[in-house]
Structure 1
């Protein structure tokens, strides 16, 4: 059966989990059965039926939502699901433990795929094992389609597209700022973080992946001029503020560098990017930056040490399946700004993009980002020159995702920030 003749447009895999349920709720609120052939997938038939009933009661247009049953430990069940749908959208992590069989199934069935992973060690494994197979199959495997890493990756792509259109040249560097945010974490998110640190403690390749800023680049291209994530408080080169290291830089910066490489370096091979937390100016800003840096250092050390990591898992972190309340999701927010600096024939310029939302970044906003990334794949709405591979949001989907995010209620902007004196 061809990809366009399948029973379903989209399967939400892991629909009864915290993130999966939010995706299912968003899709059934935003679209009708005439616009989208949707199915709910997971292991528990009873839990899926309960979710399907709740969705139908809330969304009168949806009088029937198909259910598909599978298990990550039963590859044939995943293969059957992949063969019946055009796109699989999965929220089931930790991906290091549960993700690989579904990627294999989607490539074998030539079914497009998107997920929420921030597990760079697992993404590196998928690149090394399956990128060539996905290219040959013409299958788009798009990782990191949530808060990790759409605001950073798409925000950088928007800045570069604008700079090239407006000034005829890309930016040679991008500073990425998590301006402010309020959000919660679930047991699944923390389980994924634990898997990254556990892998780094036992697997030399995982450790190398976390150390090398270019570890997600294509084979043979895993070095360059970018020194990698900021490790201590610094004065920002584009704004008069102190900045602290960003805990998300480990993922987001590598995704941006992979986007540049997959698109054949339209931003140049010497392009650099850094993600930071702006803390303010003067002594107050410096003090805040040092406090955040110290907190991140202690947390990282705790996660890197096995007994401490296990203690955090057992006594501090929420259990898998636990997540924020509806009120917490609705009261969250975030703003990610990207400033790109370049030099045109008539002098230097700075372009800014901003992606923000008034929902919890990791849940309410992420549900919309992942859903609309999946819809871009369903509708084949991309500006990507790539027909398959292990891809990123910017390289696999690109600027059309920005329009869908705006329609979903996120604020997405890009414009000239400044024209400094030559």
Structure 2
């Protein structure tokens, strides 16, 4: 029946993270509380996945990422589409266009700010007219950061009568394998920026994902290497900060500047308070800088892509996923000087095991928990899903959100 409506369609179900998420959804929604289907470009791969997992009754939808008519037919069948098909700057445009035009809700796990900005510019007004809710960054980048700030601000408002004017996030622990998909996205972004001065300017703007009429002007700090007195440790740059900080600032803008127009937010990795911590912070800062410079040089980029870095579809073993974890600490301070702290943790490797669970629960939240009268457009996890998603993540995805 072509008029059947699924709550969720998993597009790219046979991808590395798609397979993990499909298994998770099979366990989570066995009670049929959510109706769902799997989709992708290869029917044979989807059939193999279905057989391996035991999805005997699952419906399979076939659509190539560049086939607009097939994607339209797919979107007509679902309330929410999850996309795991990246790098999104290469393969994601058409699906976002179709979702925006058809009024189908959409979420993904991209961490590509230049692509998100392009999609906003092209389809924001379209999604507002159709009621489509487009929510990027529903994986490790940027749900823990975005909802961690949201959680701390809610408690600051309750405790002090005002939100924090500054929040610093520190990565206390991060254990998990490198994501080939994330690496591919970074490589593509560097390629795009190499020949585009306007894009390079945009990538330096901490408010690049905020609406054009945002009133933010506070000078945000890019963490290099420093000693953090609050945490009593050396700190180094965190690779996900480039996308996470921009999502947090958009959340502020989308909630009526609830965090304030001069809100400051930064992220960094904790390396330790002794000499070893200092050396590690310096090595991390230098290493990240050398990596980005290397990617900008074509011969070096070729060597890294083809012989050193993990490729899309490659990732940690099941054992590594289960043994992975992360621990993020948020330190907030109000303009009056009041201080408040919280902690966000995850029980799987961040790039795959935990990301798959977060993305699935974000889609379930979009399908069942969106507030009545929600206006279509490009939202963030915190600004449209907020407390409802935190509740789901606590109960079903192995995340914790706790005041300290």
* TM range, smaller chain: over 0.9
Question: Structure 1 residues 219, 302: closer, same or farther in 2, change over 3 A?
Answer: same
Whole-angstrom CA distance in 2 between matches of 1:205 and 1:11: 36
Question: Structure 1 residues 322, 279: closer, same or farther in 2, change over 3 A?
Answer: closer
TM normalised by structure 1 equals 0.91
Question: Structure 1 residues 317, 23: closer, same or farther in 2, change over 3 A?
Answer: same
**Contact 1:226/1:273 (8 A) holds in 2:** no
Match of 1:111 in 2: 104
Q: CA deviation at 1:179?
A: 1.2
Whole-angstrom CA distance in 2 between matches of 1:146 and 1:338: 18
Q: CA deviation at 1:82?
A: 0.7
Q: CA deviation at 1:12?
A: 0.5
Deviation track 1:338-358 (CA, whole Å, cap 9, x = no partner) reads: 1111145xxx32222222122
Aligned residue among 305, 319, 322 for 2:311: 319
Aligned residue among 34, 37, 56 for 1:36: 34
Aligned residue among 349, 353, 357 for 2:342: 353
Match of 1:363 in 2: 352
Match of 2:294 in 1: 302
Whole-angstrom CA distance in 2 between matches of 1:354 and 1:135: 35
SS of alignment partner, residue 399 of structure 1: helix
**Contact 2:143/2:381 (8 A) holds in 1:** yes
Match of 2:141 in 1: 148
Whole-angstrom CA distance in 2 between matches of 1:143 and 1:313: 26
Whole-angstrom CA distance in 1 between matches of 2:85 and 2:399: 27
Question: Structure 1 residues 100, 68: closer, same or farther in 2, change over 3 A?
Answer: same
Whole-angstrom CA distance in 2 between matches of 1:89 and 1:369: 12
Q: CA deviation at 1:193?
A: 1.5
Match of 1:134 in 2: 127
Deviation track 1:176-206 (CA, whole Å, cap 9, x = no partner) reads: 1111111112432221111111111122332
Structure 1 unaligned segments of length 5 or more: list them: 57-61, 418-422
Whole-angstrom CA distance in 2 between matches of 1:188 and 1:326: 17
| 165-174 vs 387-396, which moves further | 387-396
Question: Structure 1 residues 238, 136: closer, same or farther in 2, change over 3 A?
Answer: farther
Match of 1:162 in 2: 155
**Contact 2:220/2:265 (8 A) holds in 1:** no
Q: Indicate yes or no: 2:332 matched with 1:340.
A: yes
Structure 2 unaligned segments of length 5 or more: list them: none
SS of alignment partner, residue 12 of structure 1: strand
Aligned residue among 209, 233, 258 for 1:241: 233
SS of alignment partner, residue 295 of structure 1: helix
Whole-angstrom CA distance in 2 between matches of 1:337 and 1:385: 34
| 62-71 vs 267-276, which moves further | 62-71
SS of alignment partner, residue 156 of structure 1: helix
**Contact 2:10/2:37 (8 A) holds in 1:** yes
**Contact 1:213/1:229 (8 A) holds in 2:** no
Q: CA deviation at 1:235?
A: 2.0
Question: Structure 1 residues 396, 49: closer, same or farther in 2, change over 3 A?
Answer: same
Match of 1:203 in 2: 196
Question: Structure 1 residues 27, 270: closer, same or farther in 2, change over 3 A?
Answer: same
Match of 2:380 in 1: 392
Whole-angstrom CA distance in 2 between matches of 1:353 and 1:139: 33
TM normalised by structure 2 equals 0.95
Whole-angstrom CA distance in 2 between matches of 1:97 and 1:148: 19
**Contact 1:88/1:111 (8 A) holds in 2:** yes
Equivalent positions of 1:58-207 (< 5 A) are 62-207=55-200
Equivalent positions of 1:220-235 (< 5 A) are 220-221=213-214, 224-230=217-223, 232-235=224-227
Whole-angstrom CA distance in 2 between matches of 1:222 and 1:386: 23
Q: CA deviation at 1:237?
A: 5.0
Q: Indicate yes or no: 2:323 matched with 1:331.
A: yes
**Contact 1:88/1:114 (8 A) holds in 2:** yes
**Contact 1:214/1:222 (8 A) holds in 2:** no
Question: Structure 1 residues 260, 136: closer, same or farther in 2, change over 3 A?
Answer: same
Match of 2:9 in 1: 11
Coordinate RMSD, CA, aligned: 1.8
Match of 1:420 in 2: none
Aligned residue pair count:
403
Aligned residue among 33, 50, 58 for 1:52: 50
